[in-house]
Structure formats: C-alpha cells, structure tokens
Amino acid sequence: MPKAKTAAPSGVERIQRPEPLTLRGSTLFEGDALTVLRRLPSGSVRCVVTSPPYWGLRDYGIEEQIGLEGTMPQFLHRLVAIFAEVRRVLTDDGTLWLNIGDGYTSGNRGYRAPDKKNPARAMDVRPDTPEGLKPKDLIGIPWRLAFALQDDGWYLRSDIVWNKPNAMPESVKDRPARSHEFLFMLTKSEKYYYDWQAVREPADGGGLRNRRSVWHVNTKPFAGAHFATFPPDLIRPCIQASTEPGDYVLDPFFGSGTVGLVCQDENRQYVGIELNPEYVALAADRLQGQDSNVIRIAAA
C-alpha cells in the first residue's frame, strides 16, 4: 500500500501512517524523537552524538517537548526510553556520545524573571526540589542519567569533561563558577568500533598521544539562534573516532543541525530528529547551504 501523504510546504514530505522509515542518505525528520526512532531500521546508524534538552530550563511552547516533566525521575525515565530505541537503531559496534547539563535545586517553585530577548530561554517556574535533595543542592543529572542508562543495558565507557574556556560567568559568591559539562561515551556492546588514532592529540615534547578525557572546547553561538549551539569541535572527535566515511550518524535532538554540518565536513551521512518546526527550518537552511539533497520528512 502506498504511503499516505498530505499537502506540505515545498521540500517537506509528510508521512501519516506509522510505517517503517527508510534511510536514503542524510535525512532530517520533523517529529517526536521516540515516535520517529521506533520507525527507524534496527542497526542502521553507526554513531549517535546528541545533547538532550536540559530539565526545567526552557519552555519552547511545543507539545510533547522534553524537559518540562514535573519530577526528575519522570524526566530520566523518558530519556531512558528514548535511548533504549537509540540502542536498537545502533549497529552492534556503535557508540553513543551524550552531553547533558546539570542544575541546582531552587528549594521552592518561585517564579523566575522573564527573559526579555527570548521568552523561551527560561521556564516561568522552577521545578520542585527533587525528592531526597535539599535546597541549593547540585542535582547531578548527568550522572543520574548515565547510571540509569548503564542499568538499562548500555556500557558506560568514558566520562569526558568538556572544559569551556569562554564559559559565561555566573554571579554566584558561595561556590566556584561552573565552566564545564560532561560528555559520556556509551556503547551497545562490549566490543565496538573506536579509531583512537583518528583523534590523537599533541603530546608534551612533540608527537601525538591518545586523546585524554578533558576536552578544552569553546562554546560557539550561532547568529540565527537564541542559544549556544553544540560546538563543532566537541562533535568532530566523536564522529572521527566512532565512524568511517559514509556511515550514518544520528542526533535525536537535532536543534540547529550542527551535528549534520560536521557530518558533511567528515563525509558522513546524518540522521536528525527535531520536534520544534522552527529549529527544523533553521537546520535545513544551514544544511542546504552545503547539501542540496537534504530530505525533510514530518513524521506523524
């Protein structure tokens, strides 16, 4: 039976039936991450590089968006379900590179001051203090998620510290200002593809050495977005170490499409999933500047 389609803007194919999706080159899907992932072929991508929305930070006004869950366990449970489908979509020798930010408890549900430049930058209210934590506690979301994924069957292989030399200053006076985030390397299997020679770094005294677990990468804002995008220099070594030319790289939280841009530079195919139509349009514009064969599909 042929696909059921509806009229759509030029360049967008809208698929209504929940039928399997076929990858035919670099593809950008517009839709909910879990819904789209469930329709992708098993073992079809070699690598995943992604940064999910942070919990309780931004409200983009989009139904089904991640990050607005009422409790931290709900947020983690939802991500674990998504990454279970990611694991199915990965090849047996595939790798997941996962970045997610942390936060502090607020102690109450007090209102935040609105951001005049971008109302979606911050939520109107903070989530309640998670059970078991105290006001002003560091929540530890990255490690809670990493351990939850480990419990769900992932191999947790490395924790990389992303040091941000140009991090935005914090106005805190009772603790050190944060200037790092974590990037976790997880694998589907005990044995996996990893080209350590492709990502060697300069060694003291000359020569090259195996890349260390602290990466110094500046944040890089994008003029077309109201947020700091995933830096290409953070993405590039993940792709170089975990894939070969022509492989598929997945980002289920595609945002402005920086993972796709790096894939184009590195001769890899990208698979992007993004719920926000504004970001889909932004990513497509950025990618079509170099790749005229971008396929945009709105998965119902």
User: Which domains, and CATH codes, for the chain?
Assistant: 13-299 (3.40.50.150)
Q: Tell me what pLDDT residue 5 has.
A: 44
Q: Is the pLDDT of residue 283 over 60?
A: yes
Q: Tell me what pLDDT residue 236 has.
A: 99
The predicted model gives 226-236 an average pLDDT of 82
Q: Tell me what pLDDT residue 118 has.
A: 41
CB neighbours of residue 254 within 10 Å = 28
The predicted model gives 86-91 an average pLDDT of 99
- Between 296 and 108, residue with greater pLDDT: 296
CB neighbours of residue 274 within 10 Å = 27
Q: 211 pLDDT band (50/70/90 cuts)?
A: very high
Q: Tell me what pLDDT residue 111 has.
A: 30
Could you list the beta-strand ranges (E) of 147-200.
155-163, 180-187
Six-digit token string for 14: 């809208």
- Between 271 and 70, residue with greater pLDDT: 271
- Between 61 and 53, residue with greater pLDDT: 53
Q: Tell me what pLDDT residue 289 has.
A: 64
Q: Tell me what pLDDT residue 116 has.
A: 36
3 state SS for the chain: CCCCEECCCCCEEEECCCCCCCCCCCEEEECCHHHHHCCCCCCCEEEEEECCCCCCCCCCCCCCCCCCCCCHHHHHHHHHHHHHHHHHHEEEEEEEEEEECCCECCCCCCECCCCCCCHHHCCCECCCCCCCCCCCCECCHHHHHHHHHHHCCCEEEEEEEEECCCCCCCCCCCCCCCCEEEEEEEECCCCCCCCHHHHCEECCCCCEECCCCEEECCCEECCCCCCEECCHHHHHHHHHHHCCCCCEEEECCCCCCHHHHHHHHCCCEEEEEECCHHHHHHHHHHHHCCCCCCEEEEEC
Nearest-CA neighbor of 212 among 159, 249, 277, 254? 159
Place of tokens 């983009």: 60
Q: 117 pLDDT band (50/70/90 cuts)?
A: very low
Q: Tell me what pLDDT residue 29 has.
A: 92
Q: 17 pLDDT band (50/70/90 cuts)?
A: low
Distance (Å, rounded) from C-alpha 71 to C-alpha 56? 9
Q: Work out the mean pLDDT of the chain and round it to a whole number.
A: 84
Q: Is the pLDDT of residue 63 over 70?
A: no
The predicted model gives 169-188 an average pLDDT of 94
- Between 102 and 245, residue with greater pLDDT: 245
- Quick one: what percent of the chain has pLDDT higher than 90? 58
- Quick one: what percent of the chain has pLDDT higher than 70? 77
Q: Tell me what pLDDT residue 66 has.
A: 78
For the chain, how many residues are written? 300
Helices 232-242 and 258-265, axial angle in degrees (round to 10): 50
Q: Tell me what pLDDT residue 121 has.
A: 41
Report pTM: 0.85
Q: Tell me what pLDDT residue 6 has.
A: 41
The DSSP call for residue 114 is P
